Amino acid sequence: MGASGPRGPTGTTGPYLAVVGGGDRLLVAQRRQAEAVGAAVAEAGAVLVCGGLGGVMEAACRGAHAAGGLTVGILPGRDRAEANPHVDIAIPTGLGEARNVLVVRSADAVIALAGEFGTLSEIAFALQAGIPVVGLDTWELGRAGTPVPVDPVARAEDPARAVALALELASKARPPR
């Protein structure tokens, strides 16, 4: 990881992007997609935040590491050792799935990949908190039999565009520090 200035690692200055998605074993295409998202986060100088476990989380961290980035894992359990090997900063919370709220609150924008109900909860919490969400092959939201007229999730076509869009939305949502 390249130090980027007098204050130390990337983390000090860049935005924080959460990458959320399923924790189970991935198909090859899903793994490559998550790695590419992680790499794009790192190349943009952003800190990657995630839930710290396997699946999408691990692939995204691996991609970020390969590109020299910094990764933060906010874990459901109490043992730092449950973090995947590509997490730099592991925060064991002991809160169970309530840690999903913290993953989202830590981020300036959320990139949501394919996942299960935990991923859906992270999308919902981000939207509730006014944190932008970019979706890439993830949950669709509808109400009472009809799709939501204006999709609250910004959809992206590929990893590079997902990260670019997340950064753009983050810069609008929060003034730079």
Q: How near is the Cβ of 89 to a second copy at its closest, in Å?
A: 5
Give me the least distance between CB of 3 and a second copy, in Å please: 6
Minimal distance in Å, beta carbon 175 to a second copy? 9
What is the phi-psi region of residue 22: left when phi exceeds 0, alpha when psi lies from -120 to 50, beta otherwise? beta
Q: Which is nearer to a second copy, 25 or 143 (CB)?
A: 143
Q: Does 173 bind a second copy (CB under 8 A)?
A: no
Q: Residue count at the site for a second copy (CB under 8 A)?
A: 59
- Residue 34 host element (H or E): helix 28-43
Binding flag, residue 98, a second copy (CB under 8 A): yes
18 binds a second copy, rule: CB under 8 A: no
Sheet with strand 154-155: strands edge to edge = 89-92, 71-75, 47-50, 16-20, 109-112, 133-135, 154-155
The residue with tokens 């973090």 is 83
d(C-alpha 50, C-alpha 21), whole Å: 9
Among residues 48, 102, 167, 170, which is the contact residue for a second copy, using CB under 8 A? Answer: 102
Contact status: 127 vs a second copy (CB under 8 A): yes
Q: How far is 77 from 173, CA to CA, in rounded Å?
A: 31
The span from the CA of 155 to the CA of 48, in Å, is 19
Residue 143 contacts a second copy per CB under 8 A: yes
Q: Which of 74, 110, 112, 162 binds a second copy (CB under 8 A)?
A: 74
State the Cα–Cα distance between residues 83 and 75, nearest whole angstrom.
7
Q: Which residues bind a second copy (CB under 8 A)?
A: 1, 3, 7-9, 11-12, 16, 47, 65, 68, 70, 72, 74, 78, 80-81, 85-89, 91-98, 100-102, 105-106, 114, 116-118, 120-121, 123-125, 127-129, 137-146, 152, 177
